[in-house]
Structure formats: structure tokens, C-alpha cells
Structure 1
Amino acid sequence: MCRYKAIVSDLDGTLFDADSRITPRTAAALRAAAQAGLKIILATGRHHTDLRGIAEKGLGIPVYRVSENGGVVFSPQEERLVYHPMAPDIVRRLTEVMAEAPREVYLHLYKGERWFVNKYDAVSVTHQNQSGFLFELADYSTFPDFEDCTKMCFMARDERAVEFMDRTVRKVRDPRLSFFWTMNTCFEAMDIHADKGVAVAGILQREGIRPEEVLAFGDGLNDLNMLRLAGKGIVMGNAVPQLAEALPHNERIGTNREEAVAQYIEQHVLNGK
């Protein structure tokens, strides 16, 4: 009998392959786990509308959706369980930082049901083609307000841009703000209450599932608390070094390019090894 009652997985760099998609093998493994009675929880930094499209197209089964790094949570029945927007004055201050930014810095902003970017980039095009959630080009200096913003993502395209983000964005210090690197070139800012681990803990309480009955997969620092919470927190082979350093005793598996999540579920959940 399988000791797990829930599977939690990050998307980019974890569940997704190199082309940012859920492969047929991975989808089949998750569907089989769901059919066996396990709750499936997708946890990502992406927008909730983006995640809904990915879940519908990639899996086709009802799942819990943790988006915006825990800032928004939806149940399989489409109930919004969690909503943590950022303080508008913080968002405005962070957008003003962009006036000093090199051209190689891109700012993505999630506001309500919309996704804004300040510059056209290939990553955004890939994401919108994948889920059908379309981005909008925007000049943030013209925004009348910054209500209902759930996440900001600063993307760097070269080393100079990375240095700018690490040096300048961190100057906007506020106890209501949480930020961290999710990839070597992606710096994200959210409300202090947005946390994948806290969001998943709420779902487990709702379902009557103990943390030790949870299997979780992740590759970024935004997955840290989620992996610490789970009875079995798996670190991807392609994880950022800081995550592996923070969880030195957690099992490490193959990479997302190798469909390592699917392999693990097949061997340790579906076959009960």
C-alpha cells in the first residue's frame, strides 16, 4: 500500500521538460496517482490563470493549484482558498526602480486577471503559447493604481542585469515584502504571506492529510519551505545550488529533462517500491 496521500510538484524546472511542457509520460503518471486516490497539488510562481490552462491542457484532471508562489490558491472545484495581493505602495516603488534598470532587465507584473510585461521577450511568448494566457505590453509609469498585484518578476538577460537586480531591488526593504531568486536570472517579489509551504499546509489541513504523507518535488528556492514540509521532499538534479545546500539530506533525483518526476512516481507510488 502506498504511504503517500498527496503529491506536490513545482512546474518550471521540475514537472516541465526542457520545452516547458508536461510530457505524456508525466501526465500519465499523475493521472494514475490521482486515480489511485492521491491528491495532486501543482505549485508554481506562475499566474493563476496561466496555471489553470496548464492543468487543463496538460493533465485534464481536477487538481489543487497553488500559484504566485502561494499568493493564490484554488481548489479542484474552482474555489479560491487563498489570496495575498501585494501592498500597492510597494509595487509602485518597485516599478520606479525600473527607471534605473539596464535594457536587459524585464519586469513581469501580475495584476488581477492580467499579466503585464514592460518589454517583449521570447520567454513570455513561450509561456502564453503554452497556456493561452496572453501577456500585455505596458508602461508601468502610466498605471493609475497598483491594486490586486500578486507578484512581480524581474528577469535578467546578462550578468550586468543580474547584478543590478541583486543590488538595487533589494534596497526596497519592507516587512510586508518577500523576495528571492527562483532561478539564476529570475528575481521574484510577493506579499510576505505568499509561501508555497504555507499554502500547501493549508490544503493538507483541509484534506486531513499529514505532512509525512506528502511527496513533493522542486528545483528553486521558492520550493524550499514546501520541500521541508513534506514527509518526502525531493530535490531535482537541476535544482539551483542554494536549494541543494539548504536541504543536504534530502534525496536528489534526475533532471526535468529526464522526466525524473514521472520516473519517481512510477517506481515509488504506482509500483509501491
Structure 2
Amino acid sequence: MNLHDDLLGVRAVAFDVDGTLAGGDHRVSPRTLQALADLRAAGVEPIIVTGRIVGSATAILADAGIDGYAVASNGAVAVDTRDPDPLHAAVMDPDEAQAVVAFCEGRAVEPSLFTVDTMVVEEGSVVHDLLVRADPTAPTRAVPPGELPFTAATKACIFGEPATLDALDGEIRAKFPRMVRSMDTAFEMSAAGADKWVALSAILERIGIPPERCAGIGDGENDVVWLSRVGFPVAMGNAREPVREVARLEIGHHADEAVAELVEALLRARAAAR
């Protein structure tokens, strides 16, 4: 793999999780966890930037045996695992969260509200099992519709079959302009003013790394803004088209451990250049 000199000089790499760092089974493989640890050992800061809740984001660093920084719930929460207090936390307007849930009524889609530490769905929702399969370690609750956490939501999601979401795409974006298509099966939206870039830029400023010395790897529409602002954006082979348009490099599919392959190649190239 031939890598651009700009990539060899990065001081941090930010990683999306689902569709990027995680494989087709939504798990981060031992090889990929080792790549994160090796990256840190080489003096490059790995940063998790995900739509998952904060516990799931920080668990990846813990599984890699390292401390560090994570952005969760699409930028609504940012943490340093060495500090008990979040660096940043934002909740949605309760009326906006309620509007997302109301939109799903009578349509072949289902809502979910994320809080800082829990994923919440309505009782009887098929999304419950989907979320549990995607991340068995994360707390997922099913509650009566009237008990959804409208006042504590960090992120609201609309889940559905890809064809159904394709048909509703224009209507969803018109109703909720901040909604992005993070996966083929999901739209999602965080609090106003909270996105992955806001949180990531705060972390980069905290650790003294300019954005141009940071690489980023992602696949979904919720990755476009922050990828376009780092120095070396990378698209997965399974990325949605808007991600490919801002990327300087495209790698393989997330199911084939393409992130681990890239990090390993980066570390070899850095060592050879010394």
C-alpha cells in the first residue's frame, strides 16, 4: 500500500466505528484493537468518533488496553477516559426528540432515543433486538411510549428497511434538516450545535494537535463534515458516496479489517522513513 507523505506525518487518527472500525458483526476484531494499541505506542493519538453511546465508545479503547479520547452519540458527548467528567455533553430539545418519535407513527419505520449511557426503544419494537445484536455490551431498554427519555436524549434515530428509508429520504430531510443517513438502515440526529466535528475539534485543541495533522476514517453521512475538516480524510470501501467525495484515500471494506491493514501499513511506512 503506497501512502501519501501527508498521512505519514499525522499525529492523530480519528475512527468512526460502525461500518469502519467494527467488522460486519459490529465487533472490533483483535487485530484492529492491536492496531489501535500499536498506533498509540508509535506516538499517534487514536480517537474514537462514533454514533454509539459513550460506554460503547470507551470500551473499544479499554479493549485495546489504552486510555484516550472518544466522541459518542454523534458528537453529543466527548470524554477523556482518564477523567470522570465528560469534556462535553449536549441533549436535544425535548420537543424535537418527541417530533422524531411522532414522525414514525403510522409509517414502516421505528424510533430510538439515545441518552448518554442507554439506548431506548418503545416496547415491541424490532429495533431492540437489532441494537442488542449490534452491541450486546451496551444497555438497551424497551419502555412504554410515554416513558421515552425526551428530556435526556442525546440522539434520535429512525430505523427502517433500506428501501423504506430511500422512499422517505426527502420527507425525513425536509422535516428534520439535521438528520443524516448514517447507515442504509438508519437516519440519526443529535442536539443542535452538537456534531462529531464540534467534539473532535475540542479534543484536538485540548491535546494540541492541529486538524491538518489529523487523519480520519469513516463511511456514513454523519462523517462527512468532520472528515472534510481534518488533514487526511479516508473513506471505507463500503462508504456512502458523500464520504468518497471528500476523501483523499479509499481503502477496503470494513468486513475485511481494512482499517487494521491501513494502520499496519502506516506504522511500517513511518518506521521505514526514520
Tell whether the 8 Å contact from 2:217 to 2:236 is kept in structure 1 after alignment: yes
| 1:15 and 2:21 matched | yes
The equivalent of 1:213 in structure 2 is 213
Letter matched to residue 121 of structure 2: V
Tell whether the 8 Å contact from 1:212 to 1:231 is kept in structure 2 after alignment: yes
The equivalent of 1:87 in structure 2 is 93
Unaligned runs of 5+ in 1: none
Question: What secondary structure, in the 3-state scheme, does the structure 2 residue paired with 1:149 have?
Answer: coil
- Cα distance between partner residues in 1 of 2:205 and 2:57: 22
- Cα distance between partner residues in 2 of 1:67 and 1:233: 19
Paired positions, count: 261
Letter matched to residue 79 of structure 2: F
TM-score (norm 1): 0.87
- Cα distance between partner residues in 2 of 1:196 and 1:163: 27
Tell whether the 8 Å contact from 2:97 to 2:113 is kept in structure 1 after alignment: no
Q: 1:161 to 1:210 in 2, by over 3 A?
A: closer
Letter matched to residue 253 of structure 1: I
Measure how far apart 1:128 and its partner are: 3.7
- Cα distance between partner residues in 1 of 2:179 and 2:165: 17
**Which of 172, 177, 180 is the matching residue for 2:175?**
172
Tell whether the 8 Å contact from 2:73 to 2:116 is kept in structure 1 after alignment: no
- Cα distance between partner residues in 1 of 2:73 and 2:9: 29
The equivalent of 1:266 in structure 2 is 264
Point out 4+ residue stretches in structure 1 off by more than 4 angstroms: none
Q: Spell out, residue by residue over 1:44-87, the C-alpha distance to the aligned partner (whole angstroms, 9 max, x if none).
A: 01111222334323x22112110111111001313311112100
State percent identity of aligned pairs: 29
The equivalent of 1:227 in structure 2 is 227
- Cα distance between partner residues in 2 of 1:250 and 1:238: 15
Measure how far apart 1:180 and its partner are: 0.8
Q: CA RMSD in A?
A: 2.1
**Which of 68, 72, 96 is the matching residue for 1:67?**
72
Measure how far apart 1:145 and its partner are: 6.1
The equivalent of 1:160 in structure 2 is 164
The equivalent of 2:138 in structure 1 is 133
Measure how far apart 1:234 and its partner are: 0.7
The equivalent of 1:190 in structure 2 is 190
Q: 1:226 to 1:161 in 2, by over 3 A?
A: closer
Q: 1:26 to 1:172 in 2, by over 3 A?
A: same
The equivalent of 1:149 in structure 2 is 153
Measure how far apart 1:168 and its partner are: 4.2
Measure how far apart 1:9 and its partner are: 0.4
The equivalent of 1:51 in structure 2 is 57
Measure how far apart 1:144 and its partner are: 7.6
Measure how far apart 1:41 and its partner are: 0.5
